[in-house]
Amino acid sequence: MASSAQWRKLYDELYKLYGDCTCPLKHASPFQLLVAVMLSAQCRDDRVNEVTKELFAVAPDPASMAELPVERIAEIIRTCGLYRNKSENLSACAKKLVDEFGGGVPHTMEELTTLPGIGRKSANVVLGDAFKIPGFPVDTHVNRLLNRIGLVDCDDPVKIEAEQNAKVPPELWSNFSHILIQHGRRVCDARKPACDRCTIRPICKRRGVKDK
């Protein structure tokens, strides 16, 4: 099991590369971030931003989203993966926000994960980026990198989140996830990691990486 010092070393090295990051999903409110995060499953961020530009023009808040027919939501978000399921979740989520939360977005993990289409990863994104409440979203990049680097040996996002939370100061959680994602996209590719130009190679166990 990796020590707190090892976790902090990784954070510091990645911070040198990427600094303070912000969520790439464009939004003007916690609700809009919630929607964008739901749409981002199996869909590129740039595609989500294109789709939400049209979606938020007609449904920028829970009340207007709740009144929008599911078929219309599906039509707008069609270019996102799993659009039928996502349109159902968006409609149900908006209605629940209106009916049970007064049209606002809740501020706790427990409440957020009661919303249709929202799991721990999505809830942590909303907590960290919309409300500045510490959260560590574990997406596929974060899961893969932490296992490859060798700080964890587990594929369970909940266990990885708990391990990180126990070893890293809360004020770093959200940004740590962001910079891991950046490194996964820019350097540590799933199939062809650029180890020859990776500055964290000295502290990386390179699990599962085969040398050429």
- Give the active site residue among 61, 86, 121, 129: 121
> Which class for 162: exposed (0-12), middle (13-18), buried (19 or more C-beta within 10 A)?
middle
Residue 61 annotated to the active site: no
Q: How far apart are CA 35 and CA 55, in angstroms?
A: 10
Q: How far apart are CA 182 and CA 203, in angstroms?
A: 18
Name the strand (E) or helix (H) holding 22: none
- Give the active site residue among 61, 86, 129, 139: 139
Residue 121 annotated to the active site: yes
Residue 38 Cα to chain centre, angstroms: 10
Residue type, 24: P
| C-alpha triplet 191, 151, 162: angle, nearest 5° | 110
Q: Which residues are part of the catalytic machinery?
A: 121, 139
